[in-house]
Amino acid sequence: MITARYHREKPQRYRLEAGKCTKCGKVSFPPRLVCPKCKTKKFKTINLKDEGKLLTYTVIRVASDKFSKETPFAIGIVEVSDGVRLTTQIADADVEKLKIGQKVKLVFRKIQDDGKAGIHMYGYKAVVG
């Protein structure tokens, strides 16, 4: 159920809340319980900027039934503040005009899938800004 799931979303999904390790400063998004770098369990909540840079992307031209009407679409790795990298769909973009290094903005969009395909992971998408 998309609606029920939508209302259960945790704050980091729409406010881009990340956890910053109080010991080594490593930023984890989504927040983790244990720092992957120094194993500390103490974090400070920070908000990531909603702007980032497109590091790399791939264009999906053939997708499963659920996403076939959205093709072609692009999945990219976006680097936002504090070196955090997110894998997300690049929405509303002409996939032929995407460029590595261009600026994108993260927007919160309704999740359309349970994430089995792994492309609607956090409920946000990147748009070319």
Contact between 38 and Zn ion per CB under 5 A = yes
Query: Is residue 110 a contact residue for Zn ion (CB under 5 A)?
Result: no
Are 58 and 72 in contact, with CB atoms under 8 Å apart? Answer: no
Min. distance of Cβ 30 from Zn ion in angstroms?
16
Nearer to Zn ion, 39 or 66 (CB): 39
Cβ of residue 21: shortest distance to Zn ion, in angstroms?
3
Count the residues of the shown chain that bind Zn ion, applying the rule CB under 5 A: 8
CB 129 within 8 A of CB 104: yes
Binding residues among 39-58 for Zn ion as defined by CB under 5 A: 40
The Cα 69–Cα 50 span in angstroms is: 27
Site map 17..36 versus Zn ion, x via CB under 5 A:
----x-xx-x--------x-
Label each residue of 4-58 as H, E or C.
Answer: HHHHHCCHHHHHCEEEEECCCCCEECCCCCCCCCCCCCCEEEEECCCEEEEEEEE
As given in the structure block, the two tokens for residue 69 are 């009407």
Asked if residue 2 binds Zn ion (CB under 5 A), the reply is no
Point out which residues bind Zn ion (CB under 5 A): 21, 23-24, 26, 35, 37-38, 40
